[in-house]
Amino acid sequence: MTGPATRGVRAALEARRVSVHGERYCPGPDGLHRFAHETYEGTSTGDEELTGRFVLEIEATDNVTRGFLGVATGKATIYDAVTGRLKVTADVSAIDSPSVDPPGVRVDGFVSGHVLQDPAAPPGAGGPKVLFANFSVRLDVTAAFIGNLGADGPVAPQNTAVLQDAEGPCRPQRGRNEV
């Protein structure tokens, strides 16, 4: 009989934006705001459970005037690079903040989800595992990013807090391209 087990895991993330499903700009009392629904695709490399094709669907709300200061929420998935099997599904919550060196946007956040059992695993291998992880990535000016999940490099963590009021006539409208 096996008991509960807990261990640290890590992954390096590399991805680029492959589509913008909806984007809208709206002026606010503190500057111009951008609302966007975007998809990023790339790779996650690290512990076996977290290695594979990485896909991120994200809703971002940022103050452009303040250097892309804002919040992002969405879903991350990791697929086996060979078989295409879904390995990980997780909710993502993040804070975007300006990055001067290198130029772009710094994203620090939290992932909460599950690592799914491989159907080819031997009996008794256990069911899905819970995944909680901090992450940090740098989004460059070309909308590509590098970063880490569960590790302090290549992007060192940063403690940032944002208070945002996204209500009113500028509320994001999913899937609509408006400028």
Residues 129-156 pLDDT 10s: 889 999 999 999 899 999 999 888 778 7
- List the domain boundaries for the chain: 12-149
Give dist(CA 41, CA 76) in Å, integer: 10
Give dist(CA 83, CA 34) in Å, integer: 37
Residue 26 pairs in a beta bridge with: 33
Q: Which of 12, 10, 7, 6 is nearest to 150 (CA)?
A: 10
Helices (H), the chain: none
The residue ranking higher by pLDDT, 1 or 65, is 65
* Percent of the residues in the chain that have a pLDDT greater than 90, as a whole number: 66
DSSP 127: S
pLDDT recorded at residue 5 = 77
The residue ranking higher by pLDDT, 60 or 124, is 60
pLDDT recorded at residue 158 = 67
Give dist(CA 148, CA 15) in Å, integer: 11
- Give the pLDDT band (50/70/90) at residue 1: very low
Task: State the SS3 of 150-179.
Answer: CCCCCCCCCCCCCCCCCCCCCCCCCCCECC
Q: Say if residue 163's pLDDT is above 90.
A: no
Evaluate whether 97 touches 63 at the Cβ level (below 8 Å). Answer: no
pLDDT recorded at residue 7 = 85
Residues 87-110 pLDDT 10s: 999 999 999 999 988 889 999 999
- Give the pLDDT band (50/70/90) at residue 167: low
Q: Say if residue 162's pLDDT is above 50.
A: no
Average pLDDT in the chain: 86
